[in-house]
Amino acid sequence: MKNIAVLQVGPLMPAVQEPITSEYGAVRLPDPGPGREEFLQQHGGSFDVAVTSGKVGVGTEVMRALPNLRAVVNFGVGYDTTDVAQAAERGIAVSNTPDVLNDCVADTAIALYLDVLRRTSAADRFVRRGDWLSKGNFPLATKASGKRVGILGLGRIGRVIARRLEGFDCAISYHSRNPVEGVSYEYKASPRDLAAGCDVLIVAAAGGPGSARLVDAGVIEAIGPDGYLINIARGSVVDEDALVAALLAGRLAGAGLDVFADEPKVPEDLLALDNVVLLPHLGSGTHETRAAMAELTLANLRQFVGTGSVLTEVHA
C-alpha cells in the first residue's frame, strides 16, 4: 500500500505524534467546532487511517465523515470512545495496545488498594497539616492482607491484579461475561453476587455501552458499609452518582478511583472525603509503559501501511 493519508484525532504523546507526522505527513483534525465541520466536509474523504487515543477515539459522527477510512489505530487498551460497531459494518480495522500496559495498570490497582485500606494518603495529609503534633496518633486503618477481593472483569489486566493479590493472601473471586478457563478463582454469577461476597471490589471491566453502569446502586449497596471499591477500568462502568451518595452516607467504607465519568471533572463531593483516593487516570502512566504503547501504536500503523492489516485488531 502506498500514499496512505493519515489523520491524527486528538492529542498524542510526542513519541507517536512526531513519527506519524514526519513519516506519513499526518494531519491533525481540528478541535470540535465549525472549523472541524468545515475541515471534514472538504477533506474527510482523503484519509485512509486515523491515529487516536483511547481517551478521544473516533466517534460516530467523525467516522461517518471519513467515507474512505480503512483503519483506526488506537493508542491505549481502551477503545470505547471509537464506534467499533460502525467500523465492523464498514470493514474498518481497529487496533489497540493490549498487554504492554497490564503490569502498570495492575500496579495502580494495588497502589489504590493499599492506599485506601491502610489510609496512607490520608495519613500523609495528617502529617503535613501538623495534626500528628497537635492531635496525636492517626486513627487506625484496615488490614490489607487476607481480604476477600472480587475482581469485576478477569481479562488480561484483571488476571495480573489477581496474581498480585495472591501475594497478600487474599481470597479472590470474579465475575466476567463467562467463566475464565484455567483459573482457580471462584466465579460469581453476577456483579451483585460478587460484591456481596467480598470486602473489596476491584473494577477491571472493559468500557463501552455493554458495561455502562455495570456497578449500579445495587452492586454498591451489596459491597456494604465495611467494604471498598477500586476502579481502574472506565468511569462509565460505575454509577458515579450512586457511588458518591453511598460514600457520603457511610454506606461504603472507602474508594480508590483512577477513572471518572466525565474526565477530567471529578465530583465536587469527593474532594473533601478523606476515605477516597483520587488519581488523574494514570493507570498506565509510566515512562516504560507509555514507550511500549507508542511502539505498538506505530507498529500497527506501519503494519497497515505495508499489508493492509493491523497487528492487534479488536472486534465489536
184-190 LR contacts (CB < 8 Å, sep 24+) = 185/151, 185/154, 188/150
**CA dist., res. 285 & res. 298, Å (int):** 18
Helices (H), the chain: 14-24, 34-43, 60-64, 84-90, 102-118, 120-128, 131-135, 156-166, 191-196, 217-223, 240-249, 268-271, 287-307
Cis status of the peptide bond prior to 264, with omega within 30 of 0: yes
Residue written as cell 457520603?
248
- CA-based Rg of the chain, rounded to a whole angstrom? 21
Cα separations in angstroms, 224 against 192, 196, 198, 218, 241: 11, 8, 9, 10, 16
The catalytic residues are 234, 263, 281
**CA dist., res. 190 & res. 152, Å (int):** 9
Q: What is the b/e burial string over 92-110, where b = at least 16 CB atoms within 10 angstroms of the residue's CB?
A: bbbbbbbebbbbbbbbbbb
Confirm if 182 and 154 have CB atoms less than 8 A apart. no
* Phi-psi group of 306: left, alpha or beta (phi > 0 → left; psi -120 to 50 → alpha; rest → beta): alpha
**CA dist., res. 285 & res. 103, Å (int):** 11
Confirm if 159 and 182 have CB atoms less than 8 A apart. no
CA torsion sign, 269 to 275 to 279 to 284? Answer: negative
